[in-house]
Structure 1
Amino acid sequence: MSVDVIVAGGGPVGLLTAALLDAAGVSVEVLERKAGRSQLAKATTMHPRTLEVLTQLRTEGDRRLSDLLVALGHPVPQAHFAVLPAGLDYTRLDTPYPFVLIVPQTTTEQVLADHLRRRGTPVHYGHDVTAFTQDADGVRVTVNGRVREAGYLVGADGARSLVRQQAGIDFRGTPPSMVGFVADVTLTDPPDGVVHHWDHRHGQLSVIPLPDGNHRVFGTEAADTGLTPGQVRARQAQAPTVDALRANLRRMTGGDHGLREVRWQSTANDTTRHAAKYRSNRVFLAGDAAHVHLPAGGQGLNVGLQDAANLAWKLAAEIHGWAPAVITEGAAGYESERAPVAAELAGNTLAQAALMTTFTPAGAALRDLMSALIAKGGDTADDLAGRLSGLGLSYVPPAPGHPLDGCRAPDLALSDGTLHRRLAVDRFLLADFTAGAVFTPLGSARVEVARALPWSGLSAALIRPDGYIARAWTAPDVEEVAAAVRAWTTRP
């Protein structure tokens, strides 16, 4: 067997999966069919929860990958929901990263690939996975006509995933009904900051500045909605033109903002599907291979990277032989936790599509209503900010317990540093809030005990490697905590 895990797909999701597995002591290689890294900006929006996950990965001088990306990106204090006039305020979020980071996918891939190169983890470009077989002992992957062997295979190979197709996993959902446009352009007279235009007569258009001085332009013409799937295919078969983009800018904004160069153009639709299964024996799906939807608020990239964070520590535990059933096929298993996230993602992107592309007076009224609710603040705005940022996600705990069980752990203050910078992919962290550090004896190779400053009236919290609370307690019962630690970190 050549490696423990082969990752098919060298985009951000595949690269992060490999980086996290490597950090957990798993041998891994990445196979990407393209000849090299994409030079297109593509996904440009990174939300706070993704940056928190990237904080786990260390580089030179104990800098974290999140530090590198923040330095290379452009922080924006607000996010949009369905490009409504009222934005979602991220500045009040309880996170070290209270902003949306505008950073091109090329930069994200470069940072991850450089990290893997420094770690000696191979990323093979021009390696086309065409088939695989699996049995109880491992998988055999056919790539460029030759066979490579591994213990497991992760399909992070995109919406048309060959891994998903070969595994016979259904990809259910709704067909497309609209076509949108997207382009990265050079403007000599750009608007000030992020702007969103919406007009029920013409359509929707947004302009977002990129860190390199260029701009992302995206939107939907009113005429490109309410289509049949066949009409969508025909429309997307037409090559986008500079003249059409310039006409859209003029129609929506009154001018073309000095459009000088189109560096990249593409189209998108609202096809919405998610995989019927996330695991088939020794094969897993992550990212677009598991779920596709309308690009809305950058959620596709971020949910895919959170797939990687959820999968990596559990697969590493299985490979190292200590994973309990609850994280392999039980209530806290990869599919059990991530499939509901994809279902929610499908629902909220379809809702955003309705708000963005219902180009009628009624659609305008609905947008005004939703925008007013967001501008008012309170539960609606907080809930939407939690959904898009990723900070509001909680997993259903395997058994009833404390209300914080399954919730994301904030960046708690420890006696030495903060929680997010102490988390590691290969072990749990037991935060000890007691004055006498009574839980110190529970430390082991798979559990680090860290003294923490008081928080939420707890005596202890067992934090999973991906930053979610496995169990929380208010009473200093060492035996009860020890039993929970064994249940989460020991294979019966």
Structure 2
Amino acid sequence: MNGTRPVIVVGSGPTGLLLAGDLAAAGVPVTLVEKRPHRISNLSRAFAVHARTLEQLDARGLADELEAVGQPLERLGLFGRLTVDLGALPSRFNHLLVVPQYEVEKVLERRAVKAGVEFRYETEVTGLAQGAGGGADPDDGVSVEVRGPGGETATLRAAYVVGADGMRSTVREAIGLPFPGRSVIRSVVLADVRLAEPPETLLTVNAVGDAFAFLAPFGDGYHRVIGWHRGRNVPDSEPLDLDEIKEITRLALGRDFGMRDARWMSRFHSDERQAPAYRVGRVFLAGDAAHVHTPAGGQGMNTGLQDAANLSWKLAAVLHGHAGPELLDTYQAERHPVGRSVLRSSGGLVRLAMAKRPWALALRAGITTVLDHVGPARRRAAGQVTGIGYRYPAPRGAHRLTGTRVPDVALAGGGRLYEALRGCRFVLITPGASPEPTPEATDRLAVERWASGRRTAVLVRPDGYVAWAADVADAAETEAAVAAHVG
């Protein structure tokens, strides 16, 4: 396809930046289209980077940089006595990292620029059309109509397009996908304020009666406050002043901490929505373009980043000819159920937090008791909120580890798995004393041995999940597995 970019990514939020950076780092030319001017905004809402996202960032050499500017939190308070203990997570990152979204965007943008992503800011997508046959023919592509900063129009061509352009996705609309769901909470208030008396805890959150409030530090002397009052159900356009925010905070948290000097205030509503499909032909959706959730548990940005980590290596493998187009079908199969699960869990949390009726309060008390005293339930809740507990579907008859996340295990020679994953590579880990010959390492495959005495052979995908495993595998079987998955 002459004059065609392999991939166009629409939207330069965290999801789009990670995806575009991955593709460029894997040698895939990619254009990132963004309708906003070039700037990193400090008005974004996300403050939590969970363990699974930190692991994905670690596989790109970025996690330690964020750890240096963020603040770790080992216990995540959700409401009342209900907390999720993160200190026991089976991860190098056994905590939640409190760091504003703009810090995440900074490191992802620097990586994308260094990798060679072509950025087109102030460029708005106005239309999109797939080739004859809906993109099924390998010679087909996608035409993207755009309008530039001066109002000029152009048509860009790509083999694949990824819409990471948020809740009001132009890409999703262009491919005719609905976005079913509803607004769960209306008239949520946000503000960046200084506090005369900073709270004792890093994240402060509580709900009392009809009021909910959340406080988190920016690290620059300001705090983000998010509040909601059941009785204040007004349109997003309704004027907002600091007195309203103070009142909600006092009701939910007992005091307003001497709020002053608001540099920004806004009102918004929180939706629960999910597209029925994440792919139509050669067009994919990721992040908020595919799913939006309530803020409870801080899972929104994290889920989008994990979408990007799942899709990027698959697109690169197909475009480089290492895998057939059918690999791209697994993006829907693996990520759509996760998005649905996050939708349910975050929605359940916010409903329990705002419980008012006696039966709902009793349910909340029961759930709190179970999580406080039942270890498996507590671990499952922590795995779901942090993302480390999800596994992907495996083919019938596959090894029990297939589709599971691999923790950052130690490797022989002093290395660790997530360092070996850097460079969008598969990693084959074999028993340390295995007499069988192993495949040679390539730019797409790192061959390692367990530092422990483990006997299982495991082929780890670039996103840190098991592609293949065998308790006992000879050289021919291992070679066949590598050929099937790595190409």
TM-score, normalization by structure 1: 0.90
Larger deviation, residues 422-431 vs 284-293: 422-431
2:100 alignment partner in structure 1? 104
**1:22-46, CA deviations, whole angstroms, 9 ceiling, x for partnerless residues?**
1211111211111122232421110
Q: In the TM superposition, what is the alpha-carbon distance from 1:460 to its structure 2 partner? A: 0.6
Partner in structure 1 of residue 205 of structure 2: 196
Offset, 1:362: 3.7
State the SS of the aligned residue for 1:400: coil
Q: Tell me which residue corresponds to 1:74.
A: 71
Count of matched residue pairs: 470
Q: Secondary structure at the match of 2:390?
A: coil
| C-alpha distance in 2 between matches for 1:267 and 1:85 | 28
User: Structure 1 residue 447 and structure 2 residue 450: aligned?
Assistant: no
Shift of 1:322: 1.6
More off after superposition, 386-395 vs 266-275: 266-275
Distance in structure 1 (CA, Å) of the matches to 2:390 and 2:264: 34
CA separation in 2, counterparts of 1:437 and 1:7?
A: 46
2:15 match: secondary structure: helix
Q: What CA deviation, in whole Å up to 9, does each residue of 1:32-80 have, x standing for no partner?
A: 11112223242111001111111122xxxxxx21111111111111224
Alignment partner of 1:125 out of 98, 109, 121: 121
User: 1:121-180 CA deviation, whole Å, 9 max, x = no partner?
Assistant: 222221111112221432221221212222211100000100000011122234445443
Distance verdict in 2 for CA 1:84–1:334, change over 3 Å? farther
User: Are the counterparts in 2 of residues 177 and 270 from structure 1 also a CA contact under 8 Å?
Assistant: yes
State the match for 1:488 in structure 2.
485
Q: Which residue is equivalent to 1:168?
A: 176
C-alpha separation in 2, matches of 1:266 and 1:395? 38
Distance in 1, Cα, partners of 2:366 & 2:126? 49
The residue aligned with 1:253 is 253
2:23 corresponds to which residue?
21
- Of residues 382, 404, 420, the one that matches 2:379 is 382
Q: Is the CA contact (8 Å cut-off) linking 1:269 and 1:294 kept in structure 2? A: no
Structure 1 segments, 4+ long, off by >6 Å, are: none
1:50 partner amino acid: T
Aligned to 2:364: 367
User: Aligned to 2:255, what secondary structure does the other structure show?
Assistant: coil
Match of 2:214 among 193, 200, 206: 206
> How many Å separate the matches in 2 of 1:268 and 1:380?
33
* 1:115 aligns with one of 108, 111, 114: 111
Distance, in Å, in 1 between the alignment partners of 2:123 and 2:399 is: 48
Alpha carbons of 1:326 and 1:409: their partners in 2 closer, same or farther (altered >3 Å)?
A: farther
Which of 47, 50, 58 is the matching residue for 1:47? 50
Change (3 A) 1:326 1:134: closer
Give the Cα–Cα distance (whole angstroms) in 2 for the partners of residues 415 and 324 of structure 1.
33
| Letter of the structure 2 residue corresponding to residue 447 of structure 1 | L
- Indicate conservation of the 8 Å contact 2:420/2:446, yes or no: no
SS of 1:341's equivalent in the other structure is: helix
Indicate the SS of the match to 1:314. Answer: helix
What is the CA RMSD across the aligned residues, in angstroms? 2.0
Amino acid at match of 1:419: L
Give a deviation string over 1:293-343, Cα, whole Å, max 9, x none: 2111211100000000000000111111121455223xxx11111111111
Q: Which residue number in structure 2 is paired with residue 408 of structure 1?
A: 405
| d(CA) in 2 for partners of 1:23, 1:437 | 35
SS in 1 for 2:439: helix
* Code of the aligned partner of 2:208: D
SS in 2 for 1:223: coil
State the AA in 1 paired with 2:38. Answer: G
1:345 to 322, 342, 346: 342
Structure 2's unaligned 5+ residue stretches are 132-138, 148-152
The correspondence of residues 450-489 of structure 1 with structure 2, limited to 5 A, is 450-454=448-452, 457-489=454-486
Compared with structure 1, are the counterparts of its residues 172 and 402 closer, same or farther at alpha carbon in structure 2 (3 Å cutoff)?
same
Deviates more, 1:477-486 or 1:97-106: 477-486
Contact 2:146 2:154 in 1 (8 A): yes
User: Residues 325-340 of structure 1 correspond to what in structure 2 (within 5 A)?
Assistant: 327-329=327-329, 333-340=330-337
* C-alpha separation in 2, matches of 1:424 and 1:407: 19
Q: 1: distance between equivalents of 2:140 and 2:423?
A: 25
**Partners of 1:489 and 1:303 in 2: CA distance:** 26
Greater CA drift, 308-317 or 180-189: 180-189
Residue in 1 that maps onto 2:136:
none
Q: Give 5+ residue unaligned stretches, structure 1.
A: 58-63, 225-231
The two structures have a TM-score, normalised by structure 2, of 0.91
Q: SS state of the match for residue 237, structure 1?
A: coil
**SS of alignment partner, residue 338 of structure 2:** helix
Read off the aligned partner of 1:322 and give its amino acid letter. H
CA distance in 2, matches of 1:198, 1:177: 14
CA contact (8 A) 2:313 2:463 kept: yes
Distance change (3 Å), C-alpha of 1:129 and 1:172: same
1: CA distance, partners of 2:326 / 2:70: 38
Cα shift readout 1:437-466 (whole Å, capped 9, x = no counterpart): 6242354453321122236x4331010010
Q: Provide the rounded CA distance (Å) in 2 between the counterparts of 1:27 and 1:421.
A: 24
1:215 and 2:234 correspond: no
Question: Is the deviation greater in 349-358 or in 480-489?
Answer: 480-489
Q: 1:398 to 1:269 in 2, by over 3 A?
A: farther
Write the distance in 2 (CA, Å) between the matches of 1:437 and 1:389. 39
Q: Percent identity among equivalent residues?
A: 38
| Cα distance, 1:345 vs structure 2 | 1.3
